[in-house]
Structure 1
Amino acid sequence: MKIRKNLSLSVACLVLMQLCALNSRAQQNEPAKPVFKDGEAQIVKAFEDPAYWIREDLWVETEFDSDGDGLLDRMHVDVTRPRQTESEGLKLPVVYNSSPYFAGTAGNNPEFFWDVHHELGEQPKQHVHPPEVQRRGERPIISKGHVDTWVPRGYIVVHSSSPGTGLSDGSPTVGGDNESLAPKAVIDWLCGRAKGYKTRRGNEEVEAYWSTGKVGMTGTSYNGTLPLAAATTGVEGLEAIIPVAPNTSYYHYYRSNGLVRSPGGYLGEDVDVLFDFIHSGDLEKRAYAREHVRDTEMKNGQDRVTGDYNDFWAGRDYLNDMEPMKAALLMSHGFNDWNVMPEHSYRIYEAAKAKGIPAQIYYHQNGHGGPPPISMMNRWFTRYLFGIENGVESDAKAWIVREDDEREKPTPYKDYPNPDASPVKFYLTGGAPKKGGLVTEQPSKQAAEALVDNYSFSAEALAQAEITEHRLIFVSPELKEDLHISGEAKITIKAASSKPAVNLSVYLVSLPWNNSQWRKPKITDNLITRGWADLQNYKSLRESEPLKPGRFYEMTFELQPDDQVIKAGQQIGLMIFSSDRDFTLRPTPGTELTVDLNGTRIEIPVVGGTEAYDKAIQ
């Protein structure tokens, strides 16, 4: 009896093992497909091994000819997809990344930038152009970016080189229409509406039979600009974009309220310098682009003399092109990005909301770059590319990384700016050449105060100086409690210059300065926000007029958007000075800038408004 029981148990175990083996083989034979959990696409083992990915490249025909050869330009495209898209007929959505950088660049050598040492309003000396960019990279891979993140999760990843770069036809235009229409053509091809070819000039066609026709775009900096550029065409199939630190207006990148102003770290760069930086396309066709784009359109349009806004810049401002846009927008930026400044993302986010486009914004406290946490991106693409109802529309509209937190752990808010923020108006009391006051009650009439321009002193040095004639600074009482600022500060300044033109720089800082012995102090430790302007544009950004020495002019403009908690024990300081050695032209020192204290005020967006500020200083 005991032997029979053991025998029956052995037979049962054998049957169970066979059933498990059959089930395992059945699972192995099941077609691989995307898997979702908690509203996110999960890594699928069958998609995970790069050895089984299919990599191929091709050329997509556009609707324009921007290199003057009489042929429609073709964009070089690469594709990385799971093998199941071939062996099992699997169709998947696409994560698409386009760039002018993939084939290499000219490098950032200041020798080839514009000279910034000259008087305002003067025609600068023509700068030297760099040597030709030598294209790099081997087919079929244009880039490996994003593939490790998205292919294992059940997406196809596509890259393309921008017009006039790499193996793509055309001319770089740095924000021209062809840089919007090029990714549009690739998306049209992914949706079966445009033609792709195996070779640059051949006629053998390639179809994107593995695409569901649902496309999402992402990228950082210029690569983050191009998703927005494509979205402004209204192209069908582009369902969602995640731009990271995108340049949304080349005027806002190279100018500020009428002032010639460089992006941080690239003093003397301008739109034609960026053209040279990215122009890695066909050597035989580069002469056309240099002649017609760089040396004609850009030379006549960029205007480094007045810094005025004009049609050239308007054509490179994506805010002007947003009418057709419908792609869901997850915007990402850093509040301390002084290369592509945070106004770039904010202005587009506000416009998208006004249009009723699904939109969220993620801000961190660091500098240039920095995508949202992968979970946020995953939820965004899962919802809009796979159509999974994960409730992302009900998520917080704004996600902000607080000062001491990790970038992967943002704090959710109802929106940005914080809906509980309202402007607190501050007035000035004199104190030059020391510190004046920043108060909420308008003082009685007082004398004007003057400063002397001298680019030799950094903004950091000026903010820390006890006594100096080269800046005016006005400070609040010491904060007894933390104070949360959220949004754009706006200054109205009434000032006079001793010359027909003058640089105007405005910083909002927290004091005392952090000079920790444990690490090198950075201006961003104490920087709240900043802005620049040209008083000659007090009436209009499109028309400037020379200042009459000694006459006062009133001008209002916004500083860069910010969201920051100013700690108890600090004071808020408004610093007004002239040339900013890291951003503006550097004229001969000595211009006198006089500020009418009675006619100057600043509005700072404080969470809780005046009541919160009064409570913080009591």
Structure 2
Amino acid sequence: MRLNQFARLNPDHATQIAELNTIGLPTEKASLAELAHATYQAFEAQALTASAKDEALAERAATTKLDVAAFLAGNPTSISREVFYTIGLQYLGFEAGIDFQYDQVLEFCKQTRLPMVAGDITSQAEFNAAIYLLLNTRSKHLVTLIDLLATKGFLQHLSGNFVIFNGKTLPTFDTHKVIRERVWIESDLDSDADGQRDMLEATIFRPGETADGVKSPALFTANPYFHGTNDVTAVTHVPEPELAVKPARKQASAEPVVRPDLPQREVTGEVTTAAAYGDEDGIYSLNDYFLARGFATVYSAGVGTRGSDGLRGTGNQDETDSAVAVIEWLGGTRRAFTTRTGTTEIKAWWCNHNVAMTGKSYLGTLAIAAATSGTPALKTAISESAISSWYDYYRENGLVVAPGGFQGEDADVLAVDTYSRLKAAGDANKVADKWQARLAELGADQDREFGDYTPFWDARNYRNNVANIKCDIISEHGLNDWNVKPKNVIEFHKAMAPLSAHHKLYLHQGQHVYLNNVLSLDYTDQMNLWLSNKLLGVDNDALNQLPDVTIQDNVEPETWTTSADFGTGAGISTQDVPLGTDKQTFTDHSTAEFKAHNDTSDGFEFNIIQPESIYGDSRIVLPLLKPEQDLVIEGTPHLSLTLSVDAPSAITSVRLIDLGEAKRFTPNAGLVEAAGYPLGYDFKSANILEFKNAPKPTQAKLISLAHANTQNPISPAESIVTAPGTEVTLELDLQPTHYHLPAGRTLALIIHGADQAQTIRPTREVTYTLNLGASKLTLPERN
């Protein structure tokens, strides 16, 4: 086990003493033994009397011969490091004699990456320093010791106040008193064209202490799934059996959206108490973690969802403006009402007007979208597995592609999925005809025939508006996320580089998952440091304390590296790798083979990269490198591929793979401890996960991939006419990656036709001729 930690601060001794006193710990007694006894008694917050506390101390070991109570009763004048950390490890949740051995305490701390004081403790000052460090050390249960102690009531005497310790907020708010309410925010939209502003429902969870005057910052999650989803089986597209031949054409950019000047609703009164209860629970453990720390959490499903007006549009300007409207209300510059149709106004009077957005996938996507508005109340966003351009989600280089795991999904399908107004039939019936017209419009404009970058997709490219971003942003993404592919986050990262706003980047080895409950990284604690700074104004130097780029290694478990940037700057070089000198030919039979073997999308993803594959006749496998020393690929591999096909249009797919038998990480983190991650005192908990090696070796691993239409060699926005047999050169950026290839394993490139998991499935069998001598792969490498 390695408990990497980046969010721990090292303040001076006077600050440590002041903070220990703030949380009620003694820092001076008649003797070292008395100070230690009083401190450890305080740690036993679940015990309510002095005798009960001593009984609890007697259950903990100081040595193999003495329990803690007996050890301190001997009035020691010094405490060895071994004894201090034998006791400390037990408070951190480790079991003596099981997790660690008594004679190997210091070695266990070193291996686990737990910080230690330099020597034995011989004074009260040294004991205070050691206790301060221990309280800010990560535990077996993911959180720091002070957070773990808080779950037993250690901080209850501080309840209802913001308390800062080591630059971070403590769980000092009573989650039993949380106020749950709903309001309706007046937007600038009229997406259902009824001549009235769309009203947007928001559900709020705020600390009960706000009723007594506490001003809370707000974590806002724009979650289109919040009020439920619909069955999309009937509208999911069957992958088309024919690849259309395109005319030569170049697409224009999107036109800006112009809003009608709509009258605002009349206000007949103002109240501070909501008229509707928030009856749906929050969905994100990181939000709940901060709810216990005095942050309000707000969820809004947005325009066209149950309880709100309007129609869905999948990534359009309406969705951005819908999220921004909620932020503006929380920031005190927009109106809301107690009911959807009423005229009684309610303000976010309980909010300090500082807002952060959180969320994964579509939720994180809307955080990126809202940030590009430049709205001043948004102080930061924590965006995870997010889309920065919807073209890069549903299309690629002139092709229709499916997000990994969702073959046949498209913009119109997702609109149906999230149109939860259907769950309120009486409401949905009022706009039924308009909804069908909207779906027809989406279906036509998304263009599944040609797959080019059209004005429809340009309007859904948030990177066009990155220059408007005013707040610092954190992004987290999986390097094996074939749903929202890594290009989305890396291109966004590159786009933010020239801005004064900062972008922190976290890249893990999983797929489309959260990171806050992964044991080996203190992601939760880092976000606490960040949000305490951004929303509460705590002077903790979070911007410099948090690494700019944090990346998980794919070979060494529980290993995270940091750098100043990704795929560029000092330490990055490029290598041109030739593909060969000859010409090679193959014919794509993959659709027929897929059907003959009753394969699935997941099966295809597995089979296409195996050394022995049912798709062996439908691909070319090119072994490129077998390094004598470990190779670390970091950045965006680029393939210049010259080829011809015996058709006017064809799908070209490439996969960069790691070949060689080895135990590799499972696709996602596995369970370490069910409900082991505590979120606050007498409150919720979440599972603890960790990325682990699979129990059995595998023969191959996908590193990166790309797809392209042979009619789009110039750009996704420009198609050309190509005659069968004519050579074209495709300039393909593969998905960005950070991949550690151990010495002795083989880096290989697979070139094939249709991707049965992600592209459409043409029945025409196309023959490809690859001019390997005129082609090359450019690899970015970290030296």
Choose from 77, 92, 103 the match for 2:216: 92
Q: Does the residue aligned with 1:354 lie in a helix, a strand or coil?
A: coil
2:532 corresponding residue in structure 1: 382
Residues 1:144 and 2:282 are matched in the alignment: yes
Residues 1:471 and 2:619 are matched in the alignment: yes
Match for 1:391: what amino acid? D
TM-score between the two structures when normalised by the length of structure 1: 0.84
Q: For the residues of structure 2 that align with 1:191 and 1:119, how far apart are their CA atoms?
A: 51
1:400 corresponding residue in structure 2: 551
1:118-177 deviation line (CA, Å, top 9, x unaligned) = 110079xxxxxxxxxxxxxx9523442345211111211111121101211111110111
Choose from 632, 654, 673 the match for 1:506: 654
Q: Contact between 1:397 and 1:416, CA under 8 Å: does it hold in 2?
A: no
Q: For the residues of structure 2 that align with 1:177 and 1:520, how far apart are their CA atoms?
A: 47
86 and 466 in structure 1: CA distance in 2 versus 1, 3 angstrom threshold: closer
Residues 1:421 and 2:572 are matched in the alignment: yes
Q: For the residues of structure 1 that align with 2:383 and 2:610, how far apart are their CA atoms?
A: 36
Q: For the residues of structure 2 that align with 1:379 and 1:276, how far apart are their CA atoms?
A: 39
Name stretches of at least 5 consecutive residues in structure 1 with no aligned partner: 1-26, 124-137, 430-445, 609-618
Q: For the residues of structure 1 that align with 2:528 and 2:168, how far apart are their CA atoms?
A: 6
Residues 1:529 and 2:704 are matched in the alignment: yes
Q: Contact between 1:67 and 1:288, CA under 8 Å: does it hold in 2?
A: no
How far did 1:459 drift? 5.2
Match for 1:452: what amino acid? T
1:607 corresponding residue in structure 2: 782
1:273 corresponding residue in structure 2: 413
Q: Contact between 1:102 and 1:143, CA under 8 Å: does it hold in 2?
A: no
Q: For the residues of structure 2 that align with 1:68 and 1:428, how far apart are their CA atoms?
A: 56
Q: For the residues of structure 1 that align with 2:567 and 2:232, how far apart are their CA atoms?
A: 35
Choose from 102, 111, 114 the match for 2:237: 114
Residues 1:55 and 2:230 are matched in the alignment: no
Match for 1:283: what amino acid? A
- In the TM superposition, 1:250-329 aligns within 5 A as 250-281=390-421, 282-296=427-441, 298-329=442-473
Residues 1:451 and 2:586 are matched in the alignment: yes
How far did 1:325 drift? 1.3
How far did 1:210 drift? 1.0
Choose from 750, 771, 778 the match for 1:596: 771
Q: Does the residue aligned with 1:153 lie in a helix, a strand or coil?
A: coil
292 and 504 in structure 1: CA distance in 2 versus 1, 3 angstrom threshold: same
Residues 1:80 and 2:228 are matched in the alignment: no
2:628 corresponding residue in structure 1: 480
- In the TM superposition, 1:322-361 aligns within 5 A as 322-361=466-505
1:177-202 deviation line (CA, Å, top 9, x unaligned) = 11111111111111221111110000
Identity of aligned pairs, percent? 31
2:728 corresponding residue in structure 1: 553
Q: Contact between 2:382 and 2:475, CA under 8 Å: does it hold in 1?
A: yes
2:35 corresponding residue in structure 1: none
Q: Does the residue aligned with 1:537 lie in a helix, a strand or coil?
A: coil
- Runs of 4+ in structure 1 off by over 4 angstroms are 27-31, 404-407, 513-523
504 and 515 in structure 1: CA distance in 2 versus 1, 3 angstrom threshold: farther
Q: For the residues of structure 2 that align with 1:39 and 1:108, how far apart are their CA atoms?
A: 46
Aligned length: 544
How far did 1:528 drift? 1.2
1:551-602 deviation line (CA, Å, top 9, x unaligned) = 0001212100100111122010011111111111111152101111111111
184 and 490 in structure 1: CA distance in 2 versus 1, 3 angstrom threshold: same
How far did 1:513 drift? 5.0
1:104 corresponding residue in structure 2: 228
Q: Contact between 1:330 and 1:361, CA under 8 Å: does it hold in 2?
A: yes
Q: For the residues of structure 2 that align with 1:337 and 1:490, how far apart are their CA atoms?
A: 19
Match for 1:144: what amino acid? G
Match for 1:304: what amino acid? R
Name stretches of at least 5 consecutive residues in structure 2 with no aligned partner: 1-154, 247-275, 422-426, 517-522, 595-603, 665-692
Q: For the residues of structure 1 that align with 2:416 and 2:235, how far apart are their CA atoms?
A: 9
Q: Contact between 2:383 and 2:475, CA under 8 Å: does it hold in 1?
A: yes
Q: For the residues of structure 2 that align with 1:218 and 1:476, how far apart are their CA atoms?
A: 41
Q: Contact between 1:514 and 1:526, CA under 8 Å: does it hold in 2?
A: no
1:461 corresponding residue in structure 2: 607
TM-score between the two structures when normalised by the length of structure 2: 0.66
1:234 corresponding residue in structure 2: 374
28 and 542 in structure 1: CA distance in 2 versus 1, 3 angstrom threshold: closer
520 and 254 in structure 1: CA distance in 2 versus 1, 3 angstrom threshold: farther
Q: For the residues of structure 2 that align with 1:216 and 1:86, how far apart are their CA atoms?
A: 22
Deviates more, 1:170-179 or 1:589-598: 589-598
Q: Contact between 2:633 and 2:781, CA under 8 Å: does it hold in 1?
A: yes
Aligned-residue Cα RMSD (Å) equals 2.4
How far did 1:286 drift? 4.2
